[in-house]
Amino acid sequence: FIKKLNLSSVVFDSTDSTKNAKEKEIKRQTLLELVDYVASGSGRFVEPALEDCFKMISANLLRSLPPSSHENTSADSFDPEEEEPSLDPAWPHLQLVYEFLLRYIVSPETDAKAAKRYIDHSLVLQLLDLFDSEDRREREYLKTILHRIYGKFMVHRPFIRKAINNIFYRFIFETEKHNGIGELLEILGSIINGFALPLKEEHKLFLVRALIPLHKPKCVAMYHQQLSYCITQFVEKDLKLADTVIRGLLKYWPLTNSQKEVLFLGELEEVLEATQPAEFQRCMIPLFRQIGCCLNSLHFQVAERALF
């Protein structure tokens, strides 16, 4: 078993498909066998094997991402919707290593105490860094794995929330470029759903400091659906937050981007459905002022959406 792990730790150059073709196929077959072994739940990993498992995972997954195809474009001209998604040539091996890690985490045979030595803050941060991968398939695996880690290792929960927070801050206030915001918000949608009531102050601050400002970047359309879900979850959990959310939306309301205005109007409608009369009265004057501006918009979709 350890020999197979060591064999799978060898990383090949994937940019040239003709190079080491035989060795790559042997590695793929070996990884398939390892995935089947973990999936069968036929044995608990003991200490030396566990260390080799995570050495193999680190060697394959925890790497520097290649320079982004939009590295030299400015935040203004960057439009992820128009970019061709980049596919990692090493995916046949990467997928199996991700599958191995996922099966290990969800396996009932996994001893969380032993695993905690390897699934630590450092690994969580490195996995979060990989969310910027341009390959959507990789981000999907990362989303599932991080969500499972959050569920199984309660001790890491505050750290994971804080680390995601920091990615959002950097994206909003510095770069406005990140490929995995939508996937991170999907994880958060599920996390917010499980928040206990009454909401902690820390969670309300997260709404005000990270989620509401995520409406600011130009590429908000890329992740707006997931963001809107998270925001609505907060309002449904604590009805008093409706005023804060509506004022936040009005603060970041787009002035020259009609498509973005249509998105904001859709989100506003969802929030208003959950808003109580007392909260509505607090923000109705600036709200109606903004809706009035939308009704007078020269863009027919904005005016039409505001009428609804």
Q: What angle do CA 104, 105, 106 make, to 5 degrees?
A: 95
Q: Say yes or no to pLDDT of 75 above 50.
A: no
Cβ within 8 Å of residue 71, ≥6 positions away: none
| pLDDT recorded at residue 56 | 85
Angstrom CA distances, 162 to 118, 201, 206, 250, stand at 20, 14, 9, 26
- Report DSSP letters for 81-100, one per residue: TTSPPP--TTHHHHHHHHHH
pLDDT of residue 77: 46
Confidence of residue 76 (pLDDT cuts 50, 70, 90): very low
223-246: average pLDDT: 94
| Closest to 111 (Cα-Cα) out of 41, 60, 52 | 41
- Rounded-to-integer distance, Cα 45 and Cα 256, Å: 57
Contact 166, 118 (CB under 8 A): no
* Contact of 141 with 102, CB cutoff 8 Å: yes
Give me the percent of the chain exceeding a pLDDT of 70.
Answer: 84
Max mean pLDDT range (16-25, 47-56, 205-214): 205-214
Q: How far apart are CA 208 and CA 244, in angstroms?
A: 8
Q: Tell me what percent of the residues of the chain surpass a pLDDT of 90.
A: 43
Tens digits of per-residue pLDDT, 85-113?
677 777 888 898 899 899 988 888 888 88
